[in-house]
């Protein structure tokens, strides 16, 4: 018996150590917080659409052999031609599907397009275009090692307060608690999953969630963190575009061109 046929460590359902990896990239949001303009994923960063940067970042991992892009509902044709227009690794297959009303719905539509032989599924926001490949690979490795759900996470710089949200914007809000900062983490994407677990989570959890791993938590299964990365930040508000372009400029300098 070769080492590769060893079963994964004991525990909840786990993907085989060499399971093929698919990445689902939800890109169907409008980007309301970024202000008026094209859908966020199609906005340019240093001349290239954010979505293309995100696809490159995931396809940079030699483990990722399928990328499913979840396009704005009216945008799959445009997204397909964008993918055709940019050089992408030949070892990777690409599929484009139309998205839904919520991020959760968009992820479910993308997941439905992943064939069953992909034992590991990553879900990655198009709005995190600059995630380093080492972060992607760390998530994949942890899922292949037997974790049903893995999230990249960073400690917080700010202290966080829980408040009683005001009904009018800008009105003072009573603080109800201050969680201990050292125990808090900000989580990023790609989040990685044993495929069967993520499918079951989407079938079971119907309430709104803001990340995929929380659905797995609701199934009562363990979710673990791996170190996240500053450059995996989410482009949300206009200042984030400035930061993203600065990161790209620094990479160019460091690459020695």
Site of interaction with Mg ion (CB under 5 A): 29
The mark string for 67-86 relative to ligand CTP (x by CB under 6 A, - otherwise) is: ---x----------------
Three-state secondary structure string covering the chain = CCHHHCCCCCCCCCCCCCCCEEEEEECCCCCHHHCCCCCHHHCEECCEEHHHHHHHHHHCCCCEEEEEEEECCCCHHHHHHHHHHCCCCCCCEEEEEECCCCHHHHHHHHHCCCCCCCCEEEECCCCCCCCCHHHHHHHHHHHHCCCCEEEEEEECCCCCCEECCCCCCCCCCCEEECCCHHHCEEECCCEEEEHHHHHHHHHHCCCCCCCCHHHHHHCCCCCEEEECCHHHCCCCCHHHHHHHHHHHHHHHHHCCC
Minimum CB distance to ligand CTP smaller for 109 or for 223: 109
The mark string for 172-191 relative to ligand CTP (x by CB under 6 A, - otherwise) is: --------------------
Minimum CB distance to Mg ion smaller for 62 or for 237: 237
Q: What residues numbered 11-50 form the site for ligand CTP, per CB under 6 A?
A: 26-33, 40-41
Picked from Mg ion, ligand CTP, none, the partner binding residue 48 (CB below 5 to 8 A depending on kind) is none
Picked from Mg ion, ligand CTP, none, the partner binding residue 26 (CB below 5 to 8 A depending on kind) is ligand CTP
Q: Shortest gap between Cβ of 72 and ligand CTP (angstroms)? A: 8
Judged by CB under 6 A, the number of residues near ligand CTP is: 22
Task: Using the CB atoms, write b or e for 64-102: b if 16+ within 10 Å.
Answer: bbbbbbbbbeebbebbeebbeeeebeeebebbbbbbbee
Minimum CB distance to ligand CTP smaller for 68 or for 120: 68
Picked from Mg ion, ligand CTP, none, the partner binding residue 146 (CB below 5 to 8 A depending on kind) is none
Query: Beta-carbon neighbour count of residue 58 at 10 Å?
Result: 24
Q: Shortest gap between Cβ of 146 and Mg ion (angstroms)? A: 32
Q: Shortest gap between Cβ of 146 and ligand CTP (angstroms)? A: 28
The mark string for 92-121 relative to ligand CTP (x by CB under 6 A, - otherwise) is: -------xxxxx--x---------------
Assess 125 for contact with ligand CTP (CB under 6 A).
Answer: yes
Minimum CB distance to ligand CTP smaller for 33 or for 181: 33
Distance CA 180, CA 61 (A): 35
Nearest Cα to Cα of residue 154 among 129, 123, 131: 131
Assess 225 for contact with ligand CTP (CB under 6 A).
Answer: no
Assess 127 for contact with ligand CTP (CB under 6 A).
Answer: yes
Closest-CB residue for ligand CTP?
A: 29
By CB under 6 A, name the binding residues for ligand CTP: 26-33, 40-41, 70, 99-103, 106, 125-127, 234, 236
């Amino acid at each position: 018996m070769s080492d590769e046929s060893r079963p994964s460590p004991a525990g909840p359902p786990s993907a085989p150590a060499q399971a093929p990896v698919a990445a689902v990239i939800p890109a169907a949001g409008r980007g309301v917080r970024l202000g008026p303009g094209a859908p966020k994923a199609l906005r340019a960063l240093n001349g290239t659409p954010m979505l293309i940067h995100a696809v490159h970042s995931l396809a940079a991992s030699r483990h990722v052999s399928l990328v499913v892009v979840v396009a704005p509902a009216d945008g799959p044709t445009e997204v397909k031609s964008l993918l055709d227009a940019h050089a992408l690794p030949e070892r990777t297959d690409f599929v484009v599907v139309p998205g839904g009303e919520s991020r959760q719905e968009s992820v479910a539509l993308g997941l439905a397009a992943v064939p069953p032989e992909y034992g590991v599924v990553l879900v990655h926001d198009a709005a995190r275009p600059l995630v380093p490949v080492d972060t992607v690979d760390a998530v994949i490795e942890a899922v292949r090692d037997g974790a049903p759900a893995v999230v990249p996470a960073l400690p917080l710089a700010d202290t966080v307060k829980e408040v009683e949200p005001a009904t009018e914007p800008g009105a003072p809000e009573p603080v109800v608690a201050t969680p201990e900062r050292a125990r808090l983490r900000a989580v990023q994407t790609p989040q990685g999953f044993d495929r069967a677990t993520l499918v079951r989570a989407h079938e079971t959890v119907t309430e709104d969630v803001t990340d995929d791993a929380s659905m797995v938590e609701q199934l009562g299964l363990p979710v673990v963190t791996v170190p996240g990365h500053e450059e995996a930040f989410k482009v949300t508000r206009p200042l984030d575009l400035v930061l993203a372009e600065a990161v790209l400029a620094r990479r160019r300098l460091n690459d020695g061109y």
